[in-house]
């Protein structure tokens, strides 16, 4: 009896680990290009998204999307360089600051 319970617990633990390590399937994108000069990343890892959602690469930034049954879109790969929030071209004063202070 104890061996059967242990086997079931190990099975569920392996399933849980398998589900958390793999990114989900992302749905397709509506727009192929972003009309803005900046992006807004809502997620930079699969762990940033709630259960049942995947961090997906979209033209205007990474967003958490509900997983689709088929792999249509592009899931964000954990470990890839990413910055949360507003990401865009440097303003003139940011460029000047970086030129002065490196």
56-102: pLDDT as tens digits: 999 999 999 999 998 899 999 999 999 999 998 878 888 888 889 87
pLDDT of residue 92: 84
95 Cα distance to chain centroid = 29
Which of 4-13, 14-23, 43-52, 70-79 is modeled with the greatest confidence?
Answer: 43-52
The structure's pTM equals 0.65
Distance CA(46)–CA(52), nearest Å, equals 11
Q: What are phi and psi of 75, to 5 degrees?
A: -75, 150
Q: What structural domains and CATH numbers belong to the chain?
A: 21-79 (4.10.75)
- Supply the mean pLDDT for the chain: 83
């Amino acid at each position: 009896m104890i061996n059967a319970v242990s086997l079931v617990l190990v099975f569920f633990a392996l399933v849980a680990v398998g589900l958390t390590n793999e990114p989900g399937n992302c749905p397709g994108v509506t727009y192929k290009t972003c009309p803005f000069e900046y992006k807004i990343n809502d997620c930079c890892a699969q762990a940033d998204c709630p259960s049942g959602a995947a961090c997906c690469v979209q033209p205007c930034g990474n967003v958490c999307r509900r997983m689709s049954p088929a792999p249509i879109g592009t899931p964000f790969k954990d470990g890839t360089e990413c910055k949360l929030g507003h990401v865009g071209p440097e303003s003139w004063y940011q460029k000047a600051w970086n030129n002065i202070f490196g």
